[in-house]
Structure 1
């Protein structure tokens, strides 16, 4: 886990984005890069702290060469301030004004609540975030709530279609607009803003989860969603966030997953039928991961089906700001049940459910990529390596362009399972293509 961003947050987020989660990680990587470049100078954690302070000194020539090779971006984008130009070289007044405005806006976002969550954004994405926030300020209070709902729904659709890296900047911009507007709004409008804010924060947590962000970043946004749900008295939303936390929990921590899923259905709140069905399904998966027998897993899945049977028909296309869990259909429950049976070491049973309901169901590209990757892994566990490799290539085709992180993680897991069949042509083809994509 990285240290808290209290000074030069742009440097911190840039190093975390590249996988150097601690200052020592970065110092070690710097020394290795310096050696490869033939530079003799080495750095300590103390030097990293200086670069991450509020006023980092402009690095010397040797350090600039190493930092440029490590980040591939101008030092100004890492929070360093270039020394003044020599006399006689001055930017035009228009350029100075534009640069000052952009830098102030960037410092505002990176110095506030968004920096605390360590968003993994490049400068182009950050500019998009700023634009989303600035656009929201054109509306009156009542118009603003409507605008935010519409924009959030569109952002959720973008996430499902184009992936987390496209959707994230706009989602963060909407939260910035909500956070700043709610401070000055009258109580009725503030309540509506925070209601949208809870939905937006939960979406951001999910986007970060799909982008394979650090656990503490995802946890930050789940906490924000629950805080705003609590302030608006939205118990169902609080429970829904618990469900989403369970879904974001790594399968290696089945006990936590189980506790969160059960809390979503057993707490002092009432989940609507569709998300309640999803919570029961997540509980069944956690039970399978803890080693519960298949009969117990099936009994909890029966509770999920009973809950879904109580749901009213969906009256309109599901949306992020509409009724909770409206996109949870019978086909989705069945493919997620297949995941449960896979975790319960019943791959043949899982394959049947996957193949039937992936063919029948309507899923966003992100979800189809993830479920197809799950099918590939299940086929591998069922001893069908060639079929698993063919399906895995289909999933890679769905996931690669948009960088759907959960699907890609499942494909890596599938590649591990298929390693003992690496000499088979179909398996080798999949593994090579996955390696090329990962290296790229």
Structure 2
């Protein structure tokens, strides 16, 4: 491990930050900054531009501050799978090297940035452009030819601005050149093709989320959001508003991903960022949609009064929302009311209103809530019945509409956990436990802590039958 980074500490104090306040500004755990200052860990690449801005130093100066107290000849060893070598083999980067996180086959990997190591490892085929840390790297001729078509400025820009965290494995040479130039000089080069590229990245993340889960999707989404946050102030006015709209969309999605892993503090942070960017972009519909997402978060936190007022605010706001978003807000209002003591019959009219809104023709061209459909409304109605003390009615709805091919793997597992809870409350412990075991398998494969938390609640419902074999099995799988 390295020693104390006194230069970094002096820079933090000169910028009037405590460790805790700097961590808060970066949306990090308070202990993280202390680890940086003791040389135990390094800031992630996508965090460094904002960190430099907060400390009022350049990126190059920040790199020098972080190098202090760290051995110059080696950087912390990271695992790299080598051909004809055990998977536990470790490598160190040579002088001038960096550790760069990139997405390889859907997972973040710390790649040592010397060309020899990259070319010799099994990462090579997944990185069509070699990642080099210095001019002395010995690269295969075909990779050298491609890489050298980029200017040194473009290469340095990619490394310093953290964009490889998000995009390198998916970029062709033309896109790589364009994005790197945009990061180096956003005012001149951050044009509509670059914006469209980030939009495609975000759309791909959303499409894969229900299968890959937040652990694999979050690094890409945070990379997109971080790039937007860093460069929104520098882009041309003609593109700034659209960039902020995309920022609001990426921040809202990041909030959802953090909600799925039950990190509610970061969920709220990103929802607030989405609201701010939507306001700055003049996008009132997104503002209303973020309020709906906050109402859903209030349900997770079991705050029915906040859930009720937020759902009503969605409906009263000065925006025009698609019918499907309005339908979900009405359903959320009904659910909040039953959590506050209303009966299922008392909110039946609201649930009917939600279904009518969802079925009505809507000519508005808006992608917000595009995933919301009749099946999801049925699932949420079942949740409402369970909250209202009518679990048998909920089970009937689950049996009617909970069909695997209608959902992503993550969402199917989540609704299975809710069905298990309704079955337990309806007095069917064995079927509840079997459903819970099936749900747990989906939760594990998609890293859905939200689903696992629901299964913890199911086990509470099943406590009177704790000694039944299948209930004990569910307890074991949830514990692991």
TM-score (norm 1): 0.72
Residue in 1 aligned with 2:41? 76
1:341 aligns with 2:306: no
The 1-side partners of 2:289 and 2:202 are apart by 17
Structure 1 residue 203 displacement after superposition: 0.2
The 2-side partners of 1:90 and 1:379 are apart by 57
Classify 1:308/1:339 alpha carbon distance in 2 versus 1 (closer, same or farther; 3 Å).
same
Residue in 2 aligned with 1:142? 192
1:277-426 aligned at under 5 Å gives the runs 277-312=327-362, 323-359=367-403, 362-426=406-470
The 2-side partners of 1:146 and 1:403 are apart by 29
Deviates more, 1:246-255 or 1:271-280: 246-255
Classify 1:186/1:165 alpha carbon distance in 2 versus 1 (closer, same or farther; 3 Å).
same
Structure 1 residue 312 displacement after superposition: 4.1
Give 1:155's match in structure 2, choosing from 202, 205, 211: 205
Which deviations, in whole Å up to 9, do the C-alpha atoms of 1:196-221 show, x marking residues without a partner? 111100000000111111x3321111
Classify 1:137/1:90 alpha carbon distance in 2 versus 1 (closer, same or farther; 3 Å).
closer
1:174-189 aligned at under 5 Å gives the runs 174-189=224-239
Could you say what secondary structure the match of 1:76 adopts?
Answer: coil
1:223 aligns with 2:272: yes
Gaps (5+ residues) in structure 2? 1-18, 45-65, 76-92, 112-158, 169-175, 183-189
The 2-side partners of 1:193 and 1:84 are apart by 37
The 1-side partners of 2:399 and 2:363 are apart by 25
Residue in 2 aligned with 1:244? 293
Contact 1:351 1:379 in 2 (8 A): yes
The 1-side partners of 2:277 and 2:384 are apart by 32
Gaps (5+ residues) in structure 1? 17-21, 24-50, 59-74, 107-120, 316-321
1:97 aligns with 2:96: yes
The 1-side partners of 2:211 and 2:404 are apart by 19
Contact 1:133 1:177 in 2 (8 A): no
Deviates more, 1:296-305 or 1:239-248: 296-305
Contact 1:373 1:391 in 2 (8 A): yes
Structure of greater relative contact order (alpha carbons < 8 Å, 6+ residues apart)? 1
The 2-side partners of 1:76 and 1:364 are apart by 36
Contact 1:7 1:54 in 2 (8 A): no
Residue in 2 aligned with 1:234? 283
Structure 1 residue 252 displacement after superposition: 2.3
Structure 1 residue 165 displacement after superposition: 0.9
Structure 1 residue 181 displacement after superposition: 3.0
The 1-side partners of 2:338 and 2:94 are apart by 60
Classify 1:295/1:55 alpha carbon distance in 2 versus 1 (closer, same or farther; 3 Å).
closer
The 1-side partners of 2:309 and 2:24 are apart by 38
Which deviations, in whole Å up to 9, do the C-alpha atoms of 1:209-259 show, x marking residues without a partner? 11111x332111111101111112211110000001111123521101111
Could you say what secondary structure the match of 2:266 adopts?
Answer: helix
The 1-side partners of 2:274 and 2:23 are apart by 26
Classify 1:248/1:130 alpha carbon distance in 2 versus 1 (closer, same or farther; 3 Å).
farther
The 1-side partners of 2:408 and 2:325 are apart by 18
Structure 1 residue 296 displacement after superposition: 2.6
The 2-side partners of 1:90 and 1:206 are apart by 38
Classify 1:362/1:85 alpha carbon distance in 2 versus 1 (closer, same or farther; 3 Å).
closer
Structure 1 residue 188 displacement after superposition: 2.1
Could you say what secondary structure the match of 1:216 adopts?
Answer: helix
Which deviations, in whole Å up to 9, do the C-alpha atoms of 1:37-91 show, x marking residues without a partner? xxxxxxxxxxxxxx84597356xxxxxxxxxxxxxxxx235899784669xx789
TM-score (norm 2): 0.67
Structure 1 residue 403 displacement after superposition: 1.3
Classify 1:361/1:348 alpha carbon distance in 2 versus 1 (closer, same or farther; 3 Å).
farther
Contact 2:36 2:42 in 1 (8 A): no
Cα root mean square deviation, aligned: 3.5
1:108-147 aligned at under 5 Å gives the runs 124=110, 130-132=164-166, 136-137=179-180, 140-147=190-197
Could you say what secondary structure the match of 1:198 adopts?
Answer: helix
Contact 1:370 1:395 in 2 (8 A): yes
